[in-house]
Amino acid sequence: MANDVKDFGDYEVKSVKSFVGNEGYGFNANLYRNGKKIGFCVDDAGGGGMFPIHWDKNVDRQEEQRLLTAHIKGLPKVQAHGMELTIDESWFVTELVTKWETERDIKKLQKKCATKTLFRHSKCKVGGYMIMSAICDEKMRAKLKADYGEDVEIFNDVLAEGKLPSVFQI
C-alpha cells in the first residue's frame, strides 16, 4: 500500500538499507525529525512488521514517542478493500522508507535522462523500460512515436513535467 501516507510532517529517514528476507521486504533506516536523528528502525522481513524504534540515546525517548504517536494518530484513515484502516507506527515508517527509495530512484532516472532517452511502450515488461544512448530531442521523440505509436511514454518528458513515470505506479 505504497503512498498511503500523505503527510510525513517533520519526519524523514536516511541511510536506508533494504533487502528481501524470508517473509518479504525488509529494511533498516535512521529516523529523523526536523533534521535531527532520533532513532533507528528495523524490519527484518520476518513477517511480523517493524520492531519497536531504537531511540537515540541523545533524545528524550518518551517525548519523541509522544510526538510520533500524535502525528500518526492525526493522519486520515486509509480506505482499502472496503475497509477503513488506521495507519500505525510500522506502516508510517515503511511509507517513509518507500518515499526515500522512490526519491532515490527518480534521481537516478533524472541523471540518465541528462544524456540518454528513457522510454517505455506497450510491449515492455511490467516495471521495465528502454534506453536510447542519445539525448532526447524533437527528432528522437518523432522517431519513438513513429516506431512505437503515440502512447509511447518518454520518461525525459514525464520527469520534466514533475510527474512520475508509470514504472513507479502500482
For every residue of the chain, DSSP letters joined together read: -TT-----TTEEEEEEEEEEETTEEEEEEEEEETTEEEEEEEE-SSSS-PPPPEE-TTS-HHHHHHHHHHHHHTSPPEEETTEEE---HHHHHHHHHHHHHHHHHHHHHHHHHTTSEEEE-TTSPTT--EEESS---HHHHHHHHHHH-TT-EEHHHHHHTT---GGG--
Asked if residue 98 has pLDDT above 80, the reply is yes
Residue % of the chain over a pLDDT of 90: 75
pLDDT in tens, 51-97: 999 999 999 999 999 999 999 999 999 988 899 999 999 999 999 99
Instruction: List CB contacts of 3: < 8 A, sequence separation 6 or more.
Output: 95, 98
pLDDT in tens, 28-52: 999 999 999 999 999 999 888 889 9
The candidate with the shortest Cα–Cα distance to 38, out of 18, 73, 10, is 10
Answer yes or no: pTM beyond 0.95.
Answer: no
Write down the mean pLDDT value for the chain: 92
